[in-house]
């Protein structure tokens, strides 16, 4: 075969391949998967099964890879919406990424919701143990809010229907925030749901002692003393 003809054929083929490649839409680069794993506080095996793993070892429901792809697409859409809403260009507008929500945990639920789910399914004692464990592992990190307000809000939220659990959470809060007048108020309110006004009065007296300017607790104390009920 003529060498010149062969070279010409090869060059024409290469040009055709280049032309066809140019017609294909450019593939978007994958996100930095190490950053994704770090944002979720996981390793690669969370999504990618280790070599030799059987199909029976795969998680039930949608695979983590499937969920991750959808979440990455959602994040891209959110960033486009942020740019459109703010009128700022990419690189200027605040960027949404995995860490924005996950903050080092695979399932980014607020701590109060995590504890409430455990309380409903396993009881308050299990939730108290869970709180201590999470605080040991994550305190000082951005994963969960361990401020005074988290357990206080949970106690107030459930006091009417589960006063014993509300008392448990308020007293747990006092272990870490012993000068929390509001936590003693929460204890008192839960005791009134149990028609235990004597214990409620004791808690309110402590609340006022810790914060003499807490006029709400002072008013509750005076009112409760005036008509103290008996169980």
Q: Would you say residue 16 lies in a domain? A: no
222 plus 117 within the same structural domain: yes
Q: Which residue segment(s) compose the domain that 71 sits in?
A: 31-45+62-108
Q: Does 160 have pLDDT greater than 70?
A: yes
155 plus 136 within the same structural domain: yes
40 plus 97 within the same structural domain: yes
Q: What is the pLDDT of residue 72?
A: 83
153 plus 104 within the same structural domain: no
Mean residue pLDDT of the chain comes to 85
Distance CA 96, CA 94 (A): 7
* 7-11, 16-20, 88-92, 152-156: range with highest mean pLDDT: 152-156
Q: Would you say residue 164 lies in a domain? A: yes
Distance CA 182, CA 86 (A): 39
* Nearest one of 148, 146, 117, 153 to 131, comparing CA atoms: 146
The CATH number given to whatever domain includes residue 182 is 1.25.40.10
pLDDT tens digits for 92-103? 888 888 888 898
Q: What is the pLDDT of residue 28?
A: 63
Q: What is the pLDDT of residue 60?
A: 56
Q: What is the pLDDT of residue 109?
A: 92
207 plus 127 within the same structural domain: yes
Neighbour count for residue 132 (Cβ, 10 Å): 13
Burial of 41 (0-12, 13-18, 19+ CB in 10 A): middle
- Token pair 């008392």: residue: 167
Q: What is the pLDDT of residue 14?
A: 59
Give, for 6, the enclosing helix (H) or strand (E).
helix 3-23
Confidence of residue 34 (pLDDT cuts 50, 70, 90): confident
- Residue 135 has, within 13 A of its CA and on its CB side, a CA count of 17
pLDDT tens digits for 186-231? 999 999 999 999 999 999 999 999 999 999 999 999 999 998 666 5
Number of domains in the chain: 2
């Amino acid at each position: 075969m003529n060498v010149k003809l062969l070279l010409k054929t090869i060059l024409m083929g290469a040009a055709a391949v280049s032309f066809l490649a140019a017609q294909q839409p450019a593939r978007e680069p994958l996100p930095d998967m190490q950053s994704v794993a770090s944002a979720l506080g996981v390793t690669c095996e969370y999504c990618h099964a280790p070599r030799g793993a059987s199909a029976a070892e795969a998680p039930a429901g949608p695979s983590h890879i499937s969920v991750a792809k959808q979440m990455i697409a959602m994040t891209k859409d959110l960033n486009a919406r942020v740019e459109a809403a703010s009128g700022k260009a990419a690189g200027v507008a605040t960027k949404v990424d995995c860490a924005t929500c996950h903050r080092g945990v695979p399932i980014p639920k607020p701590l109060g919701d995590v504890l409430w789910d455990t309380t409903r399914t396993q009881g308050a004692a299990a939730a108290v143990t869970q709180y201590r464990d999470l605080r040991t592992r994550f305190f000082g990190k951005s994963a969960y809010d361990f401020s005074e307000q988290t357990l206080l809000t949970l106690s107030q939220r459930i006091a009417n229907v589960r006063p014993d659990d509300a008392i448990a959470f308020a007293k747990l809060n006092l272990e870490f925030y012993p000068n929390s007048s509001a936590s003693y108020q929460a204890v008192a309110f839960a005791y009134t749901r149990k028609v235990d006004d004597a214990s409620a009065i004791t808690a309110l007296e402590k609340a006022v002692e810790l914060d003499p300017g807490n006029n709400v607790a002072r008013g509750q104390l005076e009112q409760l003393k005036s008509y103290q009920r008996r169980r």
